[in-house]
Structure 1
């Protein structure tokens, strides 16, 4: 693989049955997309369109996940069934194109017992590449004690977990949630996971934070220094800092000339992964941020290929194995 055969860890799947049912199951508070005469809250998407976009930007593989709001608007008794349907749909796409697509499985969260059952099915039967979780489900963030059984199971399995921002609890009026509130949601959950000890207690889970972790790389030393001011149960500064550095960070909408230097200055170089947020980030926006990444002057040129695909191949060994089998 050359430097531009990218592996996109932040690419979304929009099963047609989910898109059609979303408006009648809570909808999406982001509202209709500008310029869409259908008044839809979701962009148009198809597997063929995704592959065309990937080909145009030299993306070899897209790890698909269902974005927020997911299935949180569905009635509680319907969520497990919908999660299973979504996961089987996405697994079918992977089975047809195992080098082009991957699968972060959806869970019927915040229902822990049902989610544990779906983890077993998704990882053992469907062979999903990992699990997607939202930063929060209403006012319940992932570091809450009620989710400890979930983290224990994911830790036992050494699972890859992609954390995507969830619906903001109190969104800013007149400003779409994805513009500002979503990066804040990711930042909030990252701080909570670290300070509540989830990261240190369950070290085998590999957690990817969307959008370069929101504002974590920029503000992490603020969190580290002030943690002891407001809490007496936190470890020392270096332990807190290393917990933040254990996260993986994707570059989706975060590879601009102002954000990428902060990310590369803080994150471990082996923990930075390529991401796009397609199709919720339109093709033109994806192309712009990909160009920012390509134009960035890394102090070590090898870091370009690490972000492009090498780091992801370590995290997703089945892609390495299949590439070897194919002779790529």
Structure 2
């Protein structure tokens, strides 16, 4: 979601694009129209990169509260159509813990959204241990969206095309390498865009961890399989075989990436997902599981 209050805050900071794409128009009515066109009953919404911490900690706290409160009102008005991943103003850990408590205790959010890295600090690094412990304690669903890499962009390669995939993969790697997913078994982490490179490279990454720390490769691979994966921009005949072969059958969720992905792109990848599943019936996850049932288990309110 890109509410007007958020766009105004980005404009004040001179931010006119995210991931190499111009900030698109958004409102609830347009979201519902897109959902109706694609037969989507409910969308669990979130703010994307660059998140709510735009440099000033006090501003970030205030902006997060205002946006999360407005998001909760949207869900209150249409609880059948909208869900809520609350924003968290990391890298300010204390403010992040306050936002998580407010989102859970007062707003009854369906989960939270975190960026793969917050101003250069990645999920999985020790600085965010208190946040991950609190999310585990509260048993909240965590949606991870990539952000700008903490490195200069390469001319001619828009960040959304390749850097975002690496950013997600880096976060997943550190969450596994540093034992975060092992220490916090209640964490249910959804990686966007089919997990970046994770399904394709998990065994290679596990080899590196085995050589580095003497860990059992099978255990490392299993840690990568604890993640949930959405299908945003990934309903293609090359991405889906790897995702379906690697992820647990009940850990794959439909995703659209709208409005950064325009409606025509949502249609392309949604049709690709439906066509692939229809042509490859068998032990892999079914359309009902990916399109609804797996998400219903994560979000009991929406069942």
Task: Please state which band the TM-score falls in when normalised by the shorter chain.
Answer: over 0.9
Q: Residue in 1 aligned with 2:209?
A: 227
The 3-state SS of whatever aligns with 1:203 is coil
Could you tell me which runs of 5 or more consecutive residues in structure 2 were left unpaired when the two chains were aligned. none
* Deviation by residue 1:153-207 (Cα, 9 ceiling, x = unmatched): 1111111000100221112223211111001100111011001100101110100
Gaps of 5+ in 1: 1-12, 34-40, 321-328
Aligned counterpart, 1:20: 8
Hey, what does 1:200 align to over in structure 2? 182
RMSD of equivalent CA atoms: 1.4
Structure 1 Cα separation of the partners of residues 20 and 190 of structure 2? 28
Q: Distance in 2 between matches of 1:208 and 1:49?
A: 25
Equivalence for 1:287: 267
Task: Name the CA shift for 1:185/1:26 in 2 (closer, same or farther; >3 Å).
Answer: farther
- 2-side partners of 1:163 and 1:258: how far apart? 23
TM superposition shift of 1:26: 4.9
2:235 aligns with one of 230, 244, 255: 255
Is the 1:25–1:74 contact (alpha carbons within 8 Å) kept by the matching residues of 2? Answer: no
Structure 1 length-normalised TM: 0.88
Give the structure 1 partner of residue 257 of structure 2.
277
TM-score, with structure 2 as normaliser? 0.95
> Could you tell me how far 1:28 is from its partner in structure 2?
5.1
SS in 2 for 1:59: coil
1:278 touches 1:286 (CA, 8 Å); kept in 2?
A: yes
| 8 Å CA contact 1:29, 1:177 repeated in 2 | no
Aligned to 1:204, what secondary structure does the other structure show?
A: coil
Distance 1:164 1:281 in 2: 14
Contact 1:255 1:293 in 2 (8 A): yes
Structure number with higher relative contact order (C-alpha < 8 Å, ≥ 6 residues apart):
1
TM-aligned CA deviation for residue 72 of structure 1: 2.8
Number of matched pairs: 299
